[in-house]
């Protein structure tokens, strides 16, 4: 393959709904560009894009796949992105390294969840977008209706470049407003016959062309001035305006195709090669962490950015990178900007699914892959020695919203399961895993139930290890609501020296700003910020030497042990003041162990008499749903003990702001998807702990009692 310069490189991502036909379009592009000589299909399970076992089995994309096409003297790098919202980590990673998103629309369905999601992320990252109206050869294709829907949703930036002459079964022709020609395709696709626009279409074409010219004029000030003065632009000016407007997101071009029949794909590639901005032409430029813009200058020192890694069977770990500056050749040494460790680029590849083409060299702006790197994970910057500390701003992956616990069926597999999950999360940064010491569970967080079930597929089908998902335990907290006193004498005699310690204490609720004045005079105070939130204030109120000062740390240790395993449900306790005001010692039998046990048990007894309450984590949440689906979502939230704090609107959607207990949110993403046909989305952020209602507390106490009885 020839070495393409930065100005000859176009980077696009195919994004959109799960059933829009992105993978089929990628297949048609590869065929049109000569990368493959026979088109596969999702139904036949032989596409170059969905080549992984899980994708073949499920017949949908799970991982973003890198491809390329050489067309019209340009290299077009393509990332085929999954359409389900559960895999939006792949979407975000792809959008961070391309200059344009091609949003594929199913002309039967129109705007889908994946369409909305893709648009939100492109808007956030200021990535140019164009639309490919696909499946125009199907019975329910409705181009005009879907264009109206798109204008309602995306605004008047929607700019028709092509429109179908005969959408529906038998579709074979469209009018191109830029070339002012009609393209008619033979049955089964292929090279079109290019003719003049027929008389029957001229009125419609002229009307749409006026809108095209008006939108193209918005791409540059000089074009807008000429348009206002003369009311028209030349073809060259229209093309320049479209290119500038696309780059600045002031124009959203719409092109026509039937990817399955390979109609319109060649013209689409021509439009991409002429109009999509090259990396050095992009308006939205990625930055370094020091605030400088990425140059995409091939004459500068080399900078590589790893935006994705994966583990390929029979190959090992493969790293996908974008060349941000300079150039890269086989055998080149680079430095990891995080730790300054050296990495060798043993080979440089251009990818077409699982097929890799070796490159002699790649320059700034290109997307490549390599293998056998030691420590280059996602978001790693690799530099030449001259700019060793430069770091590209990391990809901000979406926060997980679905939480579950996981365990191996066989305890002997626990360690292996943990290692495999950690490896999976290294490749998929929208999934997180943690071993919760508090909950005594391995917790996985992902973007939805489908996302999490992907992990189970790998364990079932590749690793052959049985795992199960469980509802995660809730990190409750325990506290008190009033003062209480208690004492405990620990006495043990078993021959020789015994154990003796007696402790009297008063415990009180802690609150911010409270005075340290208590019923008993305080001689010394220790305030402990608890790792799980809240405080423990430990007051030494001993007078007359009833307990020697050397035993006070042991009493505190006993109290801390019980705070870590609360008396009510075994959850962490918090916000308590402990006043140790009296006790007894024995000159021979008293020791630290005796006072630790006495302090622990005195605290337990006092806690039970101090109006104990269970606290639960409360989260602020925002639920975004279409306006006509508000009722069902609101009813569902009320059933989850949510308190609605307000509502807002964004476009056609309504945003519900609420506070909700974490205990009621297990599998909420699945429920919301069901209630809104997949169109709803939500986010959550921890707010505070609040007391649980009495009926909930009683249920928790009963459940804990039953659980501990079983353990006994």
Distance CA 32, CA 250 (A): 29
Q: Are residues 504 and 645 in the same domain?
A: no
Distance CA 458, CA 469 (A): 14
Unique residue bearing structure tokens 């021509």? 270
Distance CA 261, CA 32 (A): 12
C-alpha distances out from residue 670 to 18, 593, 667, 676, 681, Å:
17, 51, 5, 10, 10
Q: Kindly report which listed range (59-73, 573-587, 664-678) carries the lowest average pLDDT score.
A: 664-678
Q: How many CB atoms lie within 10 A of CB 295?
A: 18
Unique residue bearing structure tokens 């073809």? 235
CATH number at 509 reads: 3.30.230.10
641-649 contacts, C-beta under 8 A, 24 or more apart: 641/693, 645/620
Burial class (CB in 10 A: 0-12, 13-18, 19+), 407: middle
Q: Region 178-182: what's the mean pLDDT? A: 94
Please report whether residue 581 resides in a domain.
Answer: yes
- Residue 381 is inside which H or E element, if any? strand 381-383
Beta-carbon contacts of residue 118 (< 8 Å; ≥ 6 apart): 15, 16, 81, 91, 101, 103, 129
Unique residue bearing structure tokens 């085929």? 80
The confidence score (pLDDT) of residue 252 equals 97
The tens digit of pLDDT for each residue in 205-235 reads: 999 999 999 999 988 888 888 888 888 888 8
Strands (E), 493-543: 499-509, 524-529, 535-540
- Please spell the DSSP secondary structure of 410-446, one letter per residue: SGGGHHHHHHHHHHHHHH-TT-EEEEETTTTEEEEEE
Q: Are residues 452 and 526 in the same domain?
A: no
Per-position b or e across 55-76, b if 16+ CB within 10 A of its CB? beeeebbbbbbbbbbbbbebbb
Q: Are residues 466 and 347 in the same domain?
A: no
The tens digit of pLDDT for each residue in 11-27 reads: 999 999 988 999 999 99
DSSP 647: E
Q: Region 320-339: what's the mean pLDDT? A: 93
Q: How confident is the model at residue 710 (pLDDT cuts 50, 70, 90)?
A: low
Burial class (CB in 10 A: 0-12, 13-18, 19+), 325: buried
Beta-carbon contacts of residue 501 (< 8 Å; ≥ 6 apart): 489, 490, 551, 583, 584, 585, 590, 591, 594, 595, 597, 598
Bridge partners of 153, per DSSP, are none
Q: Are residues 24 and 173 in the same domain?
A: yes
Q: Are residues 20 and 69 in the same domain?
A: yes
The tens digit of pLDDT for each residue in 524-558 reads: 999 999 999 999 999 999 988 899 999 999 999 99
Distance CA 271, CA 408 (A): 52
Q: Are residues 101 and 182 in the same domain?
A: yes
The tens digit of pLDDT for each residue in 395-429 reads: 999 989 899 999 999 999 999 999 999 999 999 99
Domain containing residue 619: 614-696
Question: CA angle, 96 as apex, 93 and 101 as ends, to 5°?
Answer: 95
DSSP 473: P
Cα torsion 671, 674, 680, 681 to 10°: value is 40
Unique residue bearing structure tokens 């344009």? 100
Please report whether residue 223 resides in a domain.
Answer: no
Q: Are residues 141 and 174 in the same domain?
A: yes
Please report whether residue 204 resides in a domain.
Answer: no
- Residue 327 is inside which H or E element, if any? strand 327-329
Strands (E), 239-278: 252-256
Phi-psi region of 495 (alpha: psi -120 to 50; beta: other; left: phi over 0): left
The confidence score (pLDDT) of residue 712 equals 45
- Residue 602 phi, psi dihedral angles, 5° rounding: -65, -40
- Residue 524 phi, psi dihedral angles, 5° rounding: -165, 145
Burial class (CB in 10 A: 0-12, 13-18, 19+), 196: exposed
Q: Are residues 590 and 627 in the same domain?
A: no
pLDDT exceeds 50 at position 144:
yes
Q: Which of 473, 502, 526 is the last residue of a domain?
A: 473
Q: Are residues 37 and 119 in the same domain?
A: yes
Could you give the number of structural domains in the chain?
Answer: 5
Q: How many CB atoms lie within 10 A of CB 570?
A: 16
Total count of residues recorded for the chain: 712
pLDDT exceeds 70 at position 711:
no
- Residue 76 is inside which H or E element, if any? strand 74-80
Beta-carbon contacts of residue 67 (< 8 Å; ≥ 6 apart): 26, 29, 30, 35, 48, 49, 77, 78, 79, 80, 351, 352, 353
Please report whether residue 396 resides in a domain.
Answer: no
Q: Region 81-97: what's the mean pLDDT? A: 94
Please report whether residue 427 resides in a domain.
Answer: yes
- Whether the CB-CB separation of 66 and 48 falls below 8 Å is answered with no
The tens digit of pLDDT for each residue in 597-639 reads: 999 999 999 999 999 999 999 999 999 998 888 899 999 999 9
CATH number at 347 reads: 2.40.30.10
- Residue 89 is inside which H or E element, if any? helix 88-95
Q: Are residues 17 and 157 in the same domain?
A: yes
pLDDT exceeds 50 at position 320:
yes
Q: Which of 418, 449, 473 is the last residue of a domain?
A: 473
Please report whether residue 478 resides in a domain.
Answer: no
The 3-state DSSP class for residue 14 equals: strand
pLDDT exceeds 80 at position 285:
no
Please report whether residue 257 resides in a domain.
Answer: yes
Q: What mean pLDDT, rounded, does the chain reach?
A: 92
Q: Which of 453, 473, 493 is the last residue of a domain?
A: 473
Q: Are residues 500 and 458 in the same domain?
A: no
CATH number at 137 reads: 3.40.50.300
CATH number at 428 reads: 3.30.70.870
Please report whether residue 497 resides in a domain.
Answer: yes
Share of the chain above pLDDT 90, in %: 76
- Whether the CB-CB separation of 64 and 300 falls below 8 Å is answered with no
Q: Region 263-280: what's the mean pLDDT? A: 95
Q: Are residues 487 and 557 in the same domain?
A: yes
Cα torsion 102, 106, 107, 108 to 10°: value is -170
Distance CA 614, CA 210 (A): 67
pLDDT exceeds 90 at position 505:
yes
Burial class (CB in 10 A: 0-12, 13-18, 19+), 624: buried
């Amino acid at each position: 393959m020839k070495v393409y310069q930065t100005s000859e490189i176009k980077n696009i991502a195919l994004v959109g709904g799960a059933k829009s036909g992105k993978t089929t379009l990628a297949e048609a592009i590869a065929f049109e560009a000569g990368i493959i000589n026979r088109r596969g299909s999702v139904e036949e399970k032989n596409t170059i894009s969905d080549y992984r076992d899980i994708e073949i089995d499920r017949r949908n994309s799970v991982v973003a796949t890198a491809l390329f096409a050489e067309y019209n003297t340009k290299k077009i790098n393509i990332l085929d992105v999954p359409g389900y919202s559960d895999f939006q980590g792949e979407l975000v990673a792809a959008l961070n390294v391309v200059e344009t998103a091609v949003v594929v629309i199913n002309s039967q369905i129109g705007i889908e969840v994946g369409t909305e999601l893709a648009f939100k992320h492109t808007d956030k990252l200021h990535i140019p977008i164009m639309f490919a109206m696909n499946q125009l050869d199907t019975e329910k294709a409705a181009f005009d209706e879907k264009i109206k829907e798109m204008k309602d949703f995306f605004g008047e930036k929607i700019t028709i470049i092509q429109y179908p002459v005969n959408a529906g079964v038998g579709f074979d022709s469209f009018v191109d407003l830029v070339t002012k020609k009609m393209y008619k395709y033979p049955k089964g696709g292929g090279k079109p016959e290019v003719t003049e626009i027929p008389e029957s279409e001229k009125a419609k074409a002229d009307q749409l062309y006026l809108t095209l010219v008006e939108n193209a004029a918005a791409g540059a000030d000089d074009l807008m001035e000429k348009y206002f003065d003369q009311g028209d632009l030349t073809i060259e000016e229209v093309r320049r305006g479209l290119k500038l407007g696309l780059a600045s997101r002031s124009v959203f071009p719409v092109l026509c195709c039937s990817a399955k029949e390979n109609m319109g794909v060649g013209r689409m590639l021509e439009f991409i090669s002429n109009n999509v901005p090259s990396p050095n032409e992009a308006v939205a430029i990625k930055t370094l962490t020091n605030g400088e813009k990425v140059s995409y200058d091939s004459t500068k020192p080399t900078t590589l950015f790893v935006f994705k890694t994966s583990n390929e069977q029979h190959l090992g770990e493969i790293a996908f990178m974008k060349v941000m500056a300079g150039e890269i050749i086989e055998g080149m040494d680079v430095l990891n900007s995080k730790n300054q460790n050296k990495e060798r680029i043993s080979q440089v590849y251009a990818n077409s699914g699982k097929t890799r083409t070796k490159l002699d060299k790649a320059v700034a702006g290109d997307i490549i892959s390599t293998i056998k790197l030691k420590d280059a994970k996602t978001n790693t910057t690799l530099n030449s020695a001259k700019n060793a500390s430069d770091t590209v701003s990391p990809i901000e992956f979406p926060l997980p919203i679905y939480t579950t616990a996981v365990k191996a069926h066989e305890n002997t597999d626990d360690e292996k399961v943990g290692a495999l999950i950690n490896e999976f999360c290294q490749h998929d940064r929208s999934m997180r895993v943690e071993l919760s010491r508090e909950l005594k569970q391995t917790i996985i967080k992902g973007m939805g139930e489908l996302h999490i079930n992907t992990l189970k597929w790998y364990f079932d089908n590749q690793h052959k290890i049985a795992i199960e998902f469980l509802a995660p335990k809730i990190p409750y907290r325990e506290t008190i609501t009033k003062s209480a006193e208690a004492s405990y004498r620990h006495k043990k005699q078993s021959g020789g020296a015994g154990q003796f310690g007696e402790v009297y204490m008063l415990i009180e609720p802690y609150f911010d700003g409270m005075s340290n004045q208590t019923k008993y005079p305080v001689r010394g105070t220790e305030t402990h910020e608890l790792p799980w939130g809240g405080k423990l204030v430990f007051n030494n109120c001993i007078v007359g030497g009833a307990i020697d000062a050397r035993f006070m740390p042991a009493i505190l240790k006993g109290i801390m042990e019980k705070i870590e395993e609360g008396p009510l449900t075994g959850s962490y306790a918090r916000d308590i003041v402990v006043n140790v005001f009296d006790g007894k010692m024995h000159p021979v039998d008293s020791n630290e162990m005796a006072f630790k046990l006495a302090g622990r048990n005195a605290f337990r007894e006092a806690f039970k008499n101090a109006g104990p309450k269970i606290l639960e984590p409360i989260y602020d949440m925002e639920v975004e749903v279409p306006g006509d689906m508000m009722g069902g979502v609101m009813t569902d939230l009320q059933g989850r003990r949510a308190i609605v704090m307000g509502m807002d609107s964004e476009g056609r959607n309504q945003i519900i702001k609420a506070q909700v207990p974490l205990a009621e949110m297990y599998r909420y993403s699945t429920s919301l998807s069901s209630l809104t046909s997949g169109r709803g989305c939500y986010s959550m952020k921890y707010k505070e702990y609040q007391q649980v209602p009495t009926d909930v507390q009683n249920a928790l106490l009963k459940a804990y009692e039953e659980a501990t009885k079983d353990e006994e």
